Structure 1
Amino acid sequence: MLRLRNFKQEDKTLLVNYLNNPDVKRFLSPKIPSPYTINDARWWVEEGSKVGITRAIEVDGQLAGSIGALPGQFEYAKSAEIGYWLAKEFWGKGIAVKALSALFNEVQLNTDIVRLHAVVFAGNTQSIKVLEKSGFEHEGLLKKAIYKQGTFCDAGVYGKIIN
């Protein structure tokens, strides 16, 4: 069973394990520290995950990843950028699509946000499939928009109107 919940102190060890897996962090923002330490996990649980609508993805009682919607400001106040990641052992099971659906419901019930968007590393085909299965449309390609570990990557922009 999948549910979204707030992060807990007990999640710290799994966060460190999951976010030090090269396959998991390959397409994650460089704002996530690498290597990921217990102090990073402590900050995330106590502070970082309190921004926007940020939730732990729990599957059958175990932390499986993270998902969130960060509302925009000013002229973007009715939009939010979404992001998510899953631990590798949870890949390929439809969990991200279900988590996105649960996040949509929470956003619709508790906010006045009408548009969600995601920015995806070019080449992250699995995430693109998740977004497309969730009703997102490809809206554009930002060339050399991402700089990570000394390399530029293009970024795909995907959007969905939810209200």
Structure 2
Amino acid sequence: MSKNKVILRDFSKNDIESLVLYLNNENVTKFLTSRIPQPYSIDDANWWVNTGSKEGLTKAVDVNGKFIGSIGVTAGEFESKRSAEIGYWLEENSWGKGIASEAVIKMTEYVFSNTNIVRLYAPVFSSNKASMRVLEKCGYELEGVLRKAIFKNGIFLDEHLYAKISS
């Protein structure tokens, strides 16, 4: 785990400039959903802080008092309402320091202790080996590989589906 103090908190207006900076970095966004507008504007960041981040369970990842990323959980609907997708990203300078793993562990523990969700899952692009390692370190297991399930930036990628079940 990281030597840093990782806190999951609500987004604030102070995060807007950093959101724009981080989400205009192609290295950060290449494995993220295309729902995130590109280029990412101040208006996009304002909407996220004031509206988007209040849907579902979404938190800013804060390390030593500095906003560096996001983690969120979105519950399914109807028959899938006890299952939820977890997703996360960090700004590039924070990679490889154990911060993502610590954030995933904190969010997973929170969800399993405070909601009726019994299954968290994370779809990961086949080329995102670092995220696969994060999930494995956090006790998530590979359930399957969905071949050519992703089409982004003009290429097909397999989707690796990881999940963790509440004990």
1:20 maps to: 24
- Gaps in structure 2 of 5+ consecutive residues: none
Task: Report how far residue 75 of structure 1 moved.
Answer: 0.8
Task: Report how far residue 52 of structure 1 moved.
Answer: 1.1
Deviations 1:33-78 (A, max 9, x none): 1111111101111111111110000000000100011011111111
- Mapping 1:35-114, distance limit 5 Å: 35-114=39-118
**Alpha-carbon distance in 1 for matches of 2:140, 2:110:** 17
Q: Which runs of 4+ in 1 moved over 3 A?
A: none
Q: Secondary structure at the match of 1:54?
A: strand
The CA RMSD measured in Å over matched residues stands at 0.9
2:149 maps to: 145
Task: Report how far residue 123 of structure 1 moved.
Answer: 1.1
Q: Secondary structure at the match of 1:58?
A: strand
**Alpha-carbon distance in 1 for matches of 2:109, 2:139:** 14
Task: Report how far residue 105 of structure 1 moved.
Answer: 2.1
CA contact (8 A) 1:104 1:162 kept: no
Task: Report how far residue 149 of structure 1 moved.
Answer: 2.2
**Alpha-carbon distance in 2 for matches of 1:60, 1:91:** 15
The alignment's TM-score, normalised by the length of structure 2, stands at 0.95
How many residues are aligned here?
A: 163
CA contact (8 A) 1:138 1:157 kept: yes
Identity %: 52
Q: Secondary structure at the match of 2:36?
A: coil
Report the residue type matching 2:154 in the other structure: G
- Gaps in structure 1 of 5+ consecutive residues: none
**Alpha-carbon distance in 1 for matches of 2:87, 2:94:** 16
Deviations 1:16-41 (A, max 9, x none): 00011111111111111111111110
The alignment's TM-score, normalised by the length of structure 1, stands at 0.97
